[in-house]
Amino acid sequence: MDYQEICQKVCTVARWSGAFIRGERATFSAEKVEHKGHQNLVSYVDKEAERMIVASLKEILPSASVLGEEGVCDSNCESDYMWIIDPLDGTTNFIHGMPPYCVSIALQCGTEIVVGVVYEITLDECYYAWQGSYAYLNGGVIKVSEESKIENSLVITGLAYNIEEYRAHFNRLFDYFNRNSHGARRIGSAAADLVYVAAGRAECFYQANLSAWDVAAGALIVQRAGGRVTDFAGGNNYVFGKEIIATNGVTHASFTEIINS
């Protein structure tokens, strides 16, 4: 399987669907929003973008199954490959006309993510990597930050929906990092959070209760940029385990200790 060729094709799909999303934002109305929960929003834009993406990915790799945020779950037991897609990561940002929001597409083979593409629509930034490659942003190689000290680091996090038992932990850590680093940020798109770490814009991203489509593509990009990605316990169950810490690698042990304290 030529993962580089597949990745290049997926970049085209991500940019194409991102252009559709960008165009819809120009005339979008809040009346078109559906509520999956008080803070968990979806619109026809998410659903149509996912339909477009799935159709295009089926042309690239017809035998692969599909796992998507908006309900697409095509299980093909005869294939080792599965697409993991979020057609619009950062829907609430999109609805309010605020960046960032992204298209996120990953390809999994067995238990390994082998292709990852994140297209940050508002900045026209396409991040991508494949198994064994460097990490790229619009054709140029990107690398994680070399910062080794927490006090000089920028930290990104998020508070997932319907997780009240984590709120006190979130508040404590958010306060800690705001006092003991260059600051903490909550920007509303896990896919963007991850690729910003990959590009060296932040040293750490952590969050609980995320889904596979939120993190699969971005996690690979961080790793190929030289960073490290684990679950909160330091293990490898971060795609489906609903906990993720992504860092520049140098700071990983320190961030993991603080987050688990």
* Sequence ranges of the binding site for Mg(2+): 69, 86, 88-89, 214
Which H/E stretch holds residue 217?
Answer: helix 212-224
List the beta strands (DSSP E) in the chain. Answer: 33-35, 41-43, 65-68, 73-74, 81-89, 102-109, 112-120, 125-130, 135-137, 140-142, 154-157, 183-185, 204-208, 228-230, 243-247
* Residues in the annotated binding site: 69, 86, 88-89, 214
Cβ burial, residue 73 (10 Å; 0-12/13-18/19+): exposed
- Which residues are CB-contacts of 242 (< 8 A; sequence separation ≥ 6)? 208, 209, 210, 211
Cα distance between residue 28 and residue 10, in whole Å = 26
